[in-house]
Chains A and B, each alone.
Chain A
């Protein structure tokens, strides 16, 4: 029953150190730019079926936006784990930051699907997942210069609105949590 420390575990030990260091040493693998966006005045629907005025939501408090969908593979899980992790860090302050995931598969992503998705990631208040009509979702994608005609050709994007000057930090690519947290700290979210 008691197992000895195997060679594999030792290797794993070393490997993890390596990964840790290489990620630390490596320059970021994602692309970061500062942008000005103006938000469309559309009404979307959240995971509770409630109507949400998108423009207002974007102005309320520090906001972080990403584009995902309920049945997406590979990149949405990573983006969502980042959100979940940030909420974990914020603890009881989770509502200090408004996290907004926008569905790029609005036909399948009914409020029910959105709710189940958030539950899987143990979301806390402050993380909303929005769906809506395709044309409204298109408008939102256009506003963030993130339009894709087809969900299967999407790409990882995180948008952070700096509460100070209202500018957006646009991050193309997948961040680790340390990177994400440091981006949040830069704009004073954490």
Chain B
């Protein structure tokens, strides 16, 4: 049992309650590690216990940590953890006017006098220019001497920093036993304490991955923009602020200016070259793991940029997860869809996301309530991913799975069997997860009198052939379309007429359906997006080359207007940047939206 506390009526009462608790702590020992006669845990296990406290808010005893914020607000169990505010790397965050300083070893066990030194480097948070820019809004970080184990424990328990200052009460006051405190403090000491592999004084090493079977066009569509970015960065005179400013690829206003303003202090990037190797994978996916381990042993890299294979990303995803290597925006329509994995950041959920979009769309259709839906699924990687996205989402709505008919590879749906299905079952909607062959099926459906009013297909699976859907078929064909669509003049007019115009929607958005449906063009756009995000992340890391920090800073990124997608958004732990999928119909004028970008 931990100490049950309800907050009192006011500061004084609950402060008193808190004091009581602090006083009573010594006689309230938890059944924690070390209290039994089990062999004493290894230092690695001890670090794991500290990590669990930091990331999950769970004590070695398995109980949640107890704390107070804002003086007297008890924090319910694991509602949030150190990592929620200080982030996983421990390098801190800025949000809503609150500066959360770093809490990693190298930072805590050094005096902090950040803003007295004019040319400081490696101060991971709030650069001085930003303080000036926004001084009424942000609190200024305070100087303080180096922490000791005791003063650190004191800070965590009572909120008094090593300078004796009472800290902002957004930082919780934790109720921790001495042995628990020791674990946490050891963990903080080890946290982001040495640069990750792949970083030297002169270089940050990256790799990308290409498997055999990828066409030369697709390979180049990824490699060329990536290599260009690396070359330009290495050739740029980064000490020249104008150079960096012109390098600003971001379109959004304020943040870019701020970024430009702080770039000069990011000497870490200025002093290091980037290198890029291409790891070629040969043979069956089951053998990739061995090849990857071998590449990595020979050349440890800081992160994997992009990458392109035929098929599932899973083997590479797992390799990165196990070795704790970030993989930023691999080019794949078959990502691993997971809630908890950390190391791979995808552009989207690929085909799965289109299935998800279809389910959300159909679920919102009142006139389809309790009506029959049939799902035809090509027995292919694409078909399976689409169907899985659909079914998992559909069931999440409490709907029962629709009848599913599998189309074996190579098998054609005949007019006769189609007629039979329609006549017997009279479905109100059909989902047809098939490639370009779907066009023939749609033609056959067009002449059926039992034709349902909606047939859903995947634009990505149809590929370029979607452009040749004829008028007869267009009427009842709905496509999942996970890319951006240009604003119509009417939409633009509405936007201009309302005051709902912001810096990010100043320019009318323009996307090309022809380009978006071309796999090669798409790959080069996706790689461009990768370089945009990478560029700002390298600056935002501010010389703190820890892999978790790379993912943390991207997680704190602003939403982005980019080519190809309607919008990319980020957030701590979010791993699929583009979250939307339109449902569209084709008409003479082009694509007609039948849904919003994100459907709930």
Task: Provide the bound-state CA to CA distance between A68 and B558, in Å.
Answer: 15
Question: Which chain B residue has the least Cβ–Cβ distance from A18?
Answer: B166
Chain A residues with CB under 8 Å of B574's CB are 71, 108
Question: Which chain A residue has the least Cβ–Cβ distance from B499?
Answer: A142
Interface flag for B471 (CB, 8 Å)? no
Docked-complex contact B569 and A122, CB < 8 angstroms? no
Docked-complex contact B170 and A24, CB < 8 angstroms? no
Task: Provide the bound-state CA to CA distance between A112 and B393, in Å.
Answer: 10
Docked-complex contact A84 and B76, CB < 8 angstroms? yes
Docked-complex contact A155 and B96, CB < 8 angstroms? yes
Known: A19-B159, A24-B12, A176-B73. 18 other contacts (CB 8 A): A15-B166, A16-B15, A16-B18, A23-B71, A73-B85, A73-B93, A73-B572, A77-B85, A85-B73, A85-B74, A107-B597, A108-B571, A121-B79, A131-B600, A149-B503, A150-B504, A151-B559, A177-B70
Question: Which chain B residue has the least Cβ–Cβ distance from A177?
Answer: B73
8 closest residue pairs by CB, A with B:
A20-B15, A15-B158, A71-B571, A75-B96, A176-B70, A12-B158, A77-B80, A149-B502
What sequence of 0s and 1s flags, for each residue 533-568 of chain B, a beta carbon within 8 Å of any chain A beta carbon? 000000000000000000000011111000000010
Docked-complex contact A133 and B6, CB < 8 angstroms? no
Docked-complex contact A156 and B97, CB < 8 angstroms? yes
Docked-complex contact A71 and B85, CB < 8 angstroms? no
Task: Provide the bound-state CA to CA distance between A156 and B11, in Å.
Answer: 21
Q: Say whether, besides A22-B166, A74-B95, A12 and B22 are in contact (CB < 8 Å).
A: yes
Docked-complex contact B15 and A17, CB < 8 angstroms? yes
Task: Provide the bound-state CA to CA distance between A17 and B15, in Å.
Answer: 6
Chain B residues with CB under 8 Å of A108's CB are 569, 571, 574, 579
Q: A77: which of B12, B19, B79, B503 is its contact (CB, 8 Å)?
A: B79
Docked-complex contact B76 and A45, CB < 8 angstroms? no
List residues of B (24-76) whose CB comes within 8 Å of A's CBs: 25-27, 29, 35, 69-76
Interface flag for A128 (CB, 8 Å)? no
Question: Which chain A residue has the least Cβ–Cβ distance from B170?
Answer: A78
A/B interface sample: 22 pairs, CB < 8 A = A11-B160, A16-B15, A16-B18, A20-B12, A23-B71, A49-B397, A71-B555, A71-B571, A72-B95, A74-B85, A78-B73, A81-B74, A107-B598, A120-B76, A131-B600, A134-B596, A149-B505, A152-B556, A174-B98, A176-B11, A176-B169, A178-B14
Q: Which of A1-9, A54-62, A93-101, A162-170 contacts B (4 or more CB under 8 A)?
A: A1-9
Question: Which chain A residue has the least Cβ–Cβ distance from B27?
Answer: A2
Interface flag for B78 (CB, 8 Å)? yes
Task: Provide the bound-state CA to CA distance between A149 and B252, in Å.
Answer: 11
Question: Interface size for chain B: under 10, 10 to 19, 20 to 34, or 35 or more residues?
Answer: 35 or more
Task: Provide the bound-state CA to CA distance between A153 and B29, in Å.
Answer: 43
Chain A residues with CB under 8 Å of B573's CB are 71
Quote the shortest CB–CB distance from B142 to chain A (angstroms). 16
Q: B95: which of A17, A45, A152 is its contact (CB, 8 Å)?
A: A152
Task: Provide the bound-state CA to CA distance between A127 and B407, in Å.
Answer: 46
Q: B569: which of A107, A175, A176 is its contact (CB, 8 Å)?
A: A107
Task: Provide the bound-state CA to CA distance between A178 and B74, in Å.
Answer: 12
Q: Which of B149-157, B326-334, B408-416 contacts A (4 or more CB under 8 A)?
A: B149-157
Question: Which chain B residue has the least Cβ–Cβ distance from A152?
Answer: B558
Docked-complex contact A150 and B559, CB < 8 angstroms? yes
Task: Provide the bound-state CA to CA distance between A24 and B596, in Å.
Answer: 49
Q: Say whether, besides A122-B76, A149-B504, A154-B96, A174 and B70 are in contact (CB < 8 Å).
A: yes
Task: Provide the bound-state CA to CA distance between A134 and B573, in Å.
Answer: 21
Docked-complex contact B170 and A88, CB < 8 angstroms? no
Q: Say whether, besides A107-B567, A150-B559, A178-B9, A15 and B159 are in contact (CB < 8 Å).
A: yes
Question: Which chain B residue has the least Cβ–Cβ distance from A111?
Answer: B600
Docked-complex contact A133 and B29, CB < 8 angstroms? no
Chain A residues with CB under 8 Å of B79's CB are 77, 80-81, 84, 120-122
Binding site for B on A (CB under 8 A): 1-6, 8-9, 11-24, 45, 49, 69-75, 77-78, 80-82, 84-85, 88, 105-108, 110-112, 120-122, 131-135, 138, 142, 147, 149-156, 174-178, 181
Question: Which chain B residue has the least Cβ–Cβ distance from A157?
Answer: B96
Interface flag for B173 (CB, 8 Å)? yes
Task: Provide the bound-state CA to CA distance between A132 and B599, in Å.
Answer: 8
List residues of B (1-15) whose CB comes within 8 Å of A's CBs: 6-7, 9-12, 14-15
Q: Say whether, besides A1-B29, A71-B574, A156-B96, A120 and B78 are in contact (CB < 8 Å).
A: yes
Question: Which chain B residue has the least Cβ–Cβ distance from A69?
Answer: B571
Task: Provide the bound-state CA to CA distance between A190 and B89, in Å.
Answer: 41
Docked-complex contact A78 and B93, CB < 8 angstroms? no
Chain A residues with CB under 8 Å of B504's CB are 149-150
Docked-complex contact B166 and A74, CB < 8 angstroms? no
Interface flag for B341 (CB, 8 Å)? no
Question: Which chain B residue has the least Cβ–Cβ distance from A44?
Answer: B600
Docked-complex contact B10 and A24, CB < 8 angstroms? yes
User: Which one of A20, A45, A121, A153 has the greatest number of beta carbons of chain B within 10 Å?
Assistant: A20
Q: B25: which of A9, A16, A69, A151 is its contact (CB, 8 Å)?
A: A9
Interface flag for B493 (CB, 8 Å)? no
Q: Say whether, besides A18-B166, A23-B71, A73-B572, A1 and B158 are in contact (CB < 8 Å).
A: no
Chain B residues with CB under 8 Å of A106's CB are 598, 600
Q: B500: which of A20, A110, A138 is its contact (CB, 8 Å)?
A: A138
Interface flag for B527 (CB, 8 Å)? no
Chain B residues with CB under 8 Å of A72's CB are 95, 571-572
Task: Provide the bound-state CA to CA distance between A17 and B558, in Å.
Answer: 40
Docked-complex contact B85 and A11, CB < 8 angstroms? no
Chain B residues with CB under 8 Å of A16's CB are 15, 18-19, 22, 158, 173
Question: Which chain B residue has the least Cβ–Cβ distance from A132?
Answer: B600
Interface flag for B580 (CB, 8 Å)? yes
Interface flag for B87 (CB, 8 Å)? yes
